[in-house]
Amino acid sequence: MKYIDTHSHIYFDAYTEDVDNVLTRMREEEVGTIVIGTNIDTSTDAVAFAKAYSDVVLGATIGLHPNSADEGFDPHAYEPFLKEGVILGVGECGLDFFRSNPLETFENQQEVFEAQVDFALQHDLPLMLHVRPSAGSNDAHEEVLKILESKAGVRGNCHFFTGTLEMAKRYWSLGFTTAFPGVITFAKELEEVVKAAPLDLILGETDSPYATPVPFRGERNEPIRVKEVYKKIAEIKGLDEEEVRAALTKNAGRMFNQK
């Protein structure tokens, strides 16, 4: 694949009526994607989707989103997925204090996240992190990084990174990649982080069906729009687009064991 969208949910109902067209456009544009689980049910759907469309869906992740932490993470329920041959990572998992009161949800989210970190380490898989702080804060990043920094050998990617340069540098120091979504095409405050990011620690993603980039804002997102993310990264960093395309595709392959 020439381009890899490292995070999408194209098995969601938003694509029910025209998923074949979405996949056809991916084939034509040589764009592959990784589909992401958010709980036991969507992990099941993501795995089935990855198996059904393996020519453009490179694989799936399995895990429990922090906003679904009340379900609890039972590793025995997720282990059968590992036999399917398409699992590329664990998550999306992490902490989300934006939609909930950290004082009320932190302990539960932390327990579920740590269980998934241990699961990823046990099975030598990278994490697909979801980290969303409360407004105007770095709180979720601070807590996630404390956990990661205490776990030897942990690896992974911070999905939909919109944090500060200080936080980004801490992820990079651990060898984690930061994935930038379509938001970078219109949020100038993120350009400092993109410009400073080591080229070998950047990934591109869409988070489809969300976060559609310019010039398609207002439309449902889809994996081929990751090309706009790659293009914007090249523009911000003042690099040749082909150099960036090759680097980001290589980074995705390295992180998720793709050739």
E strands in 114-257:
127-132, 156-158, 177-180, 202-204
Average pLDDT, the chain: 96
**Sheet strands (E) in the chain:** 3-8, 31-36, 57-62, 87-96, 127-132, 156-158, 177-180, 202-204
Nearest to 186 by CA among 223, 224, 222, 218: 218
Rounded CA gap, 177 and 180, in Å? 10
Four-residue CA torsion sign, 191, 226, 47, 68: positive
Q: CB 143: neighbour CB atoms within 10 A?
A: 20
Output DSSP code: residue 171. H
- Angstrom distance (rounded) from CA 174 to CA 180: 18
Say which CATH superfamily domain 3-255 falls into. Metal-dependent hydrolases (3.20.20.140)
- The strand pairing partners of 158, in sequence order, are 129, 178
Whole-number pLDDT of residue 257: 84
Taking only the tens place, the pLDDT of each residue in 166-217 is: 999 999 999 999 999 999 999 999 999 999 999 999 999 999 999 999 999 9
Reported residue count of the chain is 259
The pLDDT of 150-159, averaged and rounded, is 97
Hey, how many other C-beta atoms are within 10 angstroms of the C-beta on 212?
23
Residue 189, helix vs strand vs coil: helix
The predicted model gives 95-100 an average pLDDT of 87
Q: Is the pTM of this model over 0.85?
A: yes
Query: For residues 185 and 232, what is the distance between their CA atoms, to the nearest angstrom?
Result: 6
Closest C-alpha to 235, from 206, 193, 195:
195
pLDDT of residue 177: 98
